[in-house]
Amino acid sequence: MKLFGCTFASPGVLRLLAWAGPEKLRNWAGNIEYSTDHIETATSPQQVQDCVKAQAKLKALGTRHCFNNIADSKDGFLSLKPIDQVISLDPAKRTVTVGAGITYGKLCPYLDEKGFALHNLASLPHISVAGACSTATHGSGLKNGNLSTAVSGLEIVTADGKVVTLSRQQDAKTFNGLVVGLGALGIITKLTLDIEPSFTMSQYVYEGLPFSELKDHFEAIESSGYSVSLFTDWQNQRINEVWIKSRMDQGQAFHATPDFFGAKLATRNLHPIKELSAENCTEQMGIPGPWYERLPHFRMGFTPSAGKELQSEYFVPRQHAIEAILAVERLHDQVSPSLLITEIRTIAADHLWMSPCFGQDCVTIHFTWKPDWPAVRRLLPIIEKELAPFDARPHWGKLFTVSPAELRRIYKKMPDFVELASFYDPKGKFRNEYLDENIFAC
């Protein structure tokens, strides 16, 4: 492996070499072999600045959990993995400031110990906060915005190597354009996140919810918990599993009865893919636990999801939820053979320019695919055609075939984003093929 221009303290580099292994550098799923294995690891913001100044082109790499080439580079990567400290916690302002390399898996137990929580989490805690927020990563909940809605401050090293500090309060005109930055604006070195008092949750799973019930009671089902996930293989006109995560505070606890809109209360912990062991999954059966051990589906220290898989996801305005779900259901004969599981979630609207929930409450239809790209590549345009009437927006970090022109049409703030990115990175130091094709070529 070659190292590029700026050389840093060797321990950081060696750590990453060990992590990458002798194989070519790949994303978590292994479906993307990155276009270079030139990689540096910064152990301080100063090293980030030195590296940015020394390089004509480079890309920040988080925990590599995206399924497409959004994080790819032909030139060189910069990992901030060792910059993973909690820098400060302000109980009065209810904020925490963290180094950009931190994962939710590290941050959340710290916050809980101090009596605080984040408003929501993705299905897994393994991902970096910077990478997750840069791609509008989300959990579920009618009233819960995606994870990047918690960002109230950013420190970014821009293309000229300067440190820029920005906040929701003081940079109101552009901040909403910066948060879901798709890695295009600079290297994030610090993030400040909104926090709230810690809370306890419980999780119940129901099996076999008929689509007819979902159709008639979608709002009631989705509002039965703080965060609700529906898993289906699109077979037999039913949702296989309903995961209801409820807060125990403020009288919000879910009172489990044996029957839930025709679905039956599970009698043991389940994996979203029923055939897989639930050992990887967070505790269910109504056992109370801390927020960070109930909001994700998968436990830190265990393989999340199936491991060998591909993923795609589409955000649909919530008023079209049922129509969109039924549109995909009509494709079940084509979809099911390539599918491991679908997850349906809800997310609240936000004001972040490049968030798929910009200006619209959403329902998301997610596909965990078998690792067969030719089959998935054939299916995606078929699904996207069915969802096009609803202006469905694809997840930035998952696989899609929506055209750049269509992306520009459905992301109304894209021209503003391009202008903002060009201001901070006029020569395209942080651009790659993904950004050139999907954002800047439009």
Binding site for ligand FAD (CB under 6 A): 28-29, 59-66, 70-71, 80, 100, 122-124, 127-128, 130-132, 134-135, 137-138, 182-183, 187-188, 304-305, 395, 397
Of the pair 80, 362, the CB lying nearest ligand FAD is at 80
| Kind and range of the H or E run holding 367 | strand 362-369
Of the pair 135, 152, the CB lying nearest ligand FAD is at 135
> CA–CA distance from 170 to each of 87, 138, 180 (Å)?
21, 25, 18
Q: How far is the CB of 358 from ligand FAD (least distance, A)?
A: 15
Q: Are 67 and 399 in contact (CB under 8 A)?
A: yes
Residue given tokens 């190292």 in the structure block: 3
Q: How far is the CB of 246 from ligand FAD (least distance, A)?
A: 18
| Kind and range of the H or E run holding 414 | helix 414-424
Sign of torsion, CA 198 188 411 388? negative
| Kind and range of the H or E run holding 380 | helix 373-387
Of the pair 265, 278, the CB lying nearest ligand FAD is at 278
DSSP 93-134: TTEEEEETT-BHHHHHHHHHHTTEE-S---S-S-SBHHHHHH
Q: How far is the CB of 237 from ligand FAD (least distance, A)?
A: 25
Q: How far is the CB of 292 from ligand FAD (least distance, A)?
A: 14
Sign of torsion, CA 268 269 270 276? negative
Of the pair 140, 224, the CB lying nearest ligand FAD is at 140
> CA–CA distance from 104 to each of 90, 95, 238, 417 (Å)?
18, 15, 33, 27
Q: How far is the CB of 357 from ligand FAD (least distance, A)?
A: 11
Q: Are 311 and 328 in contact (CB under 8 A)?
A: no
Of the pair 137, 202, the CB lying nearest ligand FAD is at 137
Of the pair 146, 198, the CB lying nearest ligand FAD is at 146
First to last CA, the chain: 35
Q: How far is the CB of 316 from ligand FAD (least distance, A)?
A: 15
Of the pair 177, 210, the CB lying nearest ligand FAD is at 177
Angle formed by the axes of helices 321-329 and 373-387, nearest 10° = 140
Q: Are 234 and 328 in contact (CB under 8 A)?
A: yes
Q: How far is the CB of 435 from ligand FAD (least distance, A)?
A: 8
